Chains A and B, each alone.
Chain A
Amino acid sequence: MNENPSGARIARYLDDSVADLEPRIVRRLEAARERALDRVRERAAATSVGTSGGAARLAGPSHPFLQRLALPMAALVIGVLGMYLWQQHNAAPAESDEIELLADELPVHAYLDKGFQQWLTPSLQR
């Protein structure tokens, strides 16, 4: 295959030119190449952690905004859940009281009659 003949020519030219370079420059080029390869390896490792699970993705360096958002969101969810459960807990007795009160043997107006409340007081205090 010879898809890019000019690229191959440039590569050959560069390879030939390396032989003419000073050893000091060759060492610097090798070190720069190693550093570049290290960076590529690090990036590949970070990406594979980032796609391996929800928790790891949050903790990954590629989502700093979401990482900052996670804690307040968790607090909000706990808060709202708490409020919801508290309201449920408090609403239920009033509702069951109401149906029992309406179905009770004593009529509703008896509970509001001040005269009856007065008549009842001695019995309740005994």
Chain B
Amino acid sequence: MAHPVLAALALVAGLLLGHPASAAPGTTPEWAQLSAQQREILQPLEREWSGMEPERRERWVAIAQKYPSLNAEQQARIQKRMRFWVGLTPQQRAEARELFKQLHQLPPEKRREVLQKWVEYEQFPPELKDALRAAREKK
């Protein structure tokens, strides 16, 4: 085996170079470098891809990897929501994640209640929605 110090240096170099967070901008896959399957799944993002930060590209690649294991309904939802999600600011994405996490920890019956409340909310006239938003903003 090589000298232990050299082996340690090789390990450090390997970790630094191999870790995605340390990859220089632009070293993550370009659209053309994605596999045909990844391109098909991530099709709604084709236009945004070139302007996307490496970290976000890697996240989408990871999502594309798990995508085939989802059912057809979930896949359709993802397809529909991809561009909307990409268009959000980092703060909005963080806010959505936070509430998602909070609601996901609820017991199943509470979770059903949340979904029911959304269905009701969607039926509200615009004035009522605006009044609720205004009340929320005042808090």
Residue-wise, chain A 92-126 has the 8 Å CB interface mask toward B (1 for contact) of: 00110111111111111111111111111001100
Q: Is the CB of B15 within 8 A of A106?
A: no
Q: Is the CB of B5 within 8 A of A73?
A: yes
Identify the stretch in A10-18, A36-44, A76-84 within 8 Å (CB) of chain B at 4 or more residues. A76-84
Q: State whether the Cβ of B36 lies closer than 8 Å to any Cβ in chain A.
A: no
Q: Which residue of A lies closest to B84 (CB)?
A: A108
Q: Is the CB of B136 within 8 A of A118?
A: yes
Q: CA separation between A84 and B18, bound complex, in Å?
A: 10
Q: CA separation between A116 and B106, bound complex, in Å?
A: 17
Q: Is the CB of A70 within 8 A of B96?
A: no
Query: Nearest chain B CB to A41's CB is how many angstroms away?
Result: 27
**Number of chain B residues whose Cβ lies closer than 8 Å to a Cβ of chain A:** 55
Q: CA separation between A48 and B82, bound complex, in Å?
A: 66
Q: Is the CB of A101 within 8 A of B97?
A: yes
Instruction: Using known A-B contacts A87-B19, A99-B78, A103-B78, determine if residue A119 contacts B5 with beta carbons closer than 8 Å.
Output: no
Q: CA separation between A2 and B96, bound complex, in Å?
A: 96
Instruction: Using known A-B contacts A107-B81, A108-B84, determine if residue A97 contacts B100 with beta carbons closer than 8 Å.
Output: yes
Contacts of B1 in A (CB 8 A): 54
- Taking chain A's interface residues, is the majority helix, strand, or loop, or is none over half, making it mixed? helix
Q: CA separation between A101 and B1, bound complex, in Å?
A: 48
Partner of B121, one of A55, A80, A87, A116: A116
Q: Is the CB of A54 within 8 A of B3?
A: yes
Contacts of B124 in A (CB 8 A): 115
Q: CA separation between A10 and B68, bound complex, in Å?
A: 91
Q: State whether the Cβ of B52 lies closer than 8 Å to any Cβ in chain A.
A: no
| Chain B 119-139 residues near chain A, CB threshold 8 A | 120-121, 124, 129-133, 135-137
Q: State whether the Cβ of A45 lies closer than 8 Å to any Cβ in chain B.
A: no
Q: Please list 16 pairs of residues, one from A and one from B, whose beta carbons are closer than 8 Å in the complex, sorted by A's number.
A: A66-B3, A80-B15, A91-B21, A98-B85, A98-B97, A99-B66, A102-B82, A106-B115, A108-B88, A111-B99, A112-B96, A113-B133, A114-B136, A115-B129, A117-B99, A123-B113
Q: A73-B5, A102-B77, A102-B78 are in contact. List 18 more A-B contacts (CB 8 A).
A: A55-B4, A95-B62, A98-B85, A99-B67, A103-B75, A106-B103, A106-B115, A111-B96, A112-B95, A114-B132, A114-B133, A114-B137, A115-B130, A115-B132, A116-B121, A116-B132, A118-B136, A120-B114
